[in-house]
A and B are shown apart, each in its own frame.
Chain A
């Protein structure tokens, strides 16, 4: 049985574990490579376990409130605060819990992979410190109920991500990619900070539930909404603010690229949390919903069409990540567009949202898997150039199997998980607007075409003489890929159970602003 102390304090422990792991890594990682592996692997394993315990607790017992600096969650509003929750509060509802599950699984699989993929590189104490800080940032962003605290975790995530994008230097090209990411992230974060200032100036509060309860949707609120939407849409790689994505994704180590996918989804979570929880029906759902839908459609189309001519496998996959983000924006955008209309929400809005949210976790798994396979290929070949590859199916059979699983999943081929979420999006979006569904299906076909090219280029054909010495990827890397592949298959084979137990509660929690507010303010 899990000790009650761990369950009670899991929101705090989930942040403390990677932080302690990160800050002690520079010292402990210098002892020996074995000690380093045990330390960082253990820190991530503990973090993942706590995050999963917390998520399980939320799914079984409902939304969790954790008030820092108070002995109990019922002390969210101190008696002398004028009715305002001034302490930092973590509020973990099923939507947050879903993000915890994604981070826990991906974070653990990627660190298992990293233990082998990064072994020959120097500066690993910095690598693992920043890796664990990224995990801290993501977990904090998806758990906090305080908007300034969200900004702090976003900054932790951005700083750590920029450091890791530049990790391999690569003649300065990786550093340039990191600089682009860092400058754009900083401008976006400043915009979010201005929005937070607007909320604080108007409502005298930083707690999201409190701001939601007092939301007037004044002109200032509209300005704040746009600042947050644009910044977080840029951070999650939505077209036409996606330009940093292929640069950063292709230059970061593949393990980090897989984690950057999760980081982008944390920004997507922030976007959805803002429009649904902070604003909900106070905003013009049709206007904002259509803006998000248009971002989604542009991302799908531009992402996939830019992917097809790419010669660098990581840039190609990065453009596909942009394209897949479009599906999530489309699904949830349709839900938002009909937010004020309960009958339309019941008819197809919830289904579209569930499809979009299901696609978030599916994408994290298969796209993470694909980036890890690209890293395994780079480890053995020393190139990402598709024109120089071929015949690896003879020597890297397991990597090929994992690639095929990821490629079929991203292309929406049954019975893999990508198909399940895409069919939910197609059918529900078709009722809303048939043209959008047709575009989504065409994008899937182009995705399949693109990955057929990649599969042929890398794995098909005769064994090439220049790669006659190439061996399969090391076991820990295969194990990391294997974890994600198993999730892709299981989520594909049992989509009904996943949607019923993980996805539908998340979608309903996102829409139910009243429950989020009441958890903190007690029905005020």
Chain B
């Protein structure tokens, strides 16, 4: 048994420990770059405030949080045709659920008996 737990994947291999080692090296390099940055920053001043395209941070902090409903609007808009057909299939109606199940059973029966 390989103690480093290399996983053979058919066409290649995967060793998470080697990958972690690479990640560690990347983190060290990132830290070195970070440590060379500006050290004169003053906590509690405007320097520590979030930068919101030059606007002041609103009093109600919840207003700056982008909620789930506003995410991936472009993706959903681009695929509206797909979703307009797919979502209504999930009707919540038990009769529809049963029909889908029986329909698939019938289709499979046809295919398996035709191509035994």
Contacts and interface: CB of A to CB of B under 8 A. Distances in A.
Contacts of B72: 308-309, 449, 453
B53 interface: no
Contact of A453 (B9, B71, B82): B71
A434 B10 CA distance: 15
Interface in A233-275: 233-234, 240-241, 243-244, 246-247
Contacts, number: 180
Interface string B52-85: 0000000011101111110110011001001100
Contacts of B10: 347-348, 351, 424, 427-428, 431
A246 B90 contact: yes
B26 interface: no
Given A305-B82, A420-B14, A496 B101 contact: no
Contacts of A302: 86
B41 interface: no
Interface string A449-478: 100011011001111111000000000000
Contacts of A454: 68
B111 interface: yes
Interface residues of A, number: 77
A496 B6 contact: yes
A27 to B, nearest CB: 36
Interface in A477-496: 492-496
A415 B23 CA distance: 10
Given A230-B101, A241-B101, A241-B104, A465 B61 contact: yes
Interface string B24-54: 0000000000000000000000000000000
- Main DSSP-derived SS at the B contact region: helix
Interface string A410-439: 000011000110011001101100000000
Contacts of B86: 302, 305-306
A427 B12 contact: yes
Contacts of B96: 243
Which of B20, B79, B86, B108 counts the most chain A CB atoms within 10 A?
B108
A380 interface: no
Interface residues of B, number: 53
A390 B20 contact: no
B7 to A, nearest CB: 4
A480 to B, nearest CB: 25
A308 B74 CA distance: 12
A398 interface: no
Contacts of B8: 496
B90 to A, nearest CB: 6
Nearest to B63: A462
B19 A415 contact: yes
B106 to A, nearest CB: 9
A132 B69 CA distance: 38
The 5 closest A-B pairs by CB, nearest first: A461-B65, A386-B68, A415-B16, A462-B61, A496-B5
Given A183-B98, A424-B7, A496-B1, 16 more contacts: A179-B94, A180-B97, A184-B94, A225-B112, A230-B108, A243-B90, A287-B111, A305-B83, A308-B76, A415-B16, A461-B62, A461-B65, A462-B61, A494-B5, A494-B16, A495-B16
Interface of B: 1-2, 4-12, 14-17, 19-20, 60-62, 64-69, 71-72, 75-76, 79, 82-83, 86-87, 89-90, 92, 94, 96-98, 100-101, 104-105, 108-109, 111-113, 115-116
26 contacts: A183-B98, A226-B112, A230-B105, A234-B101, A240-B100, A243-B90, A246-B90, A247-B92, A287-B115, A288-B112, A306-B87, A308-B75, A308-B76, A390-B67, A415-B16, A427-B12, A428-B9, A453-B71, A453-B72, A454-B68, A456-B71, A464-B62, A464-B65, A497-B2, A499-B7, A500-B1
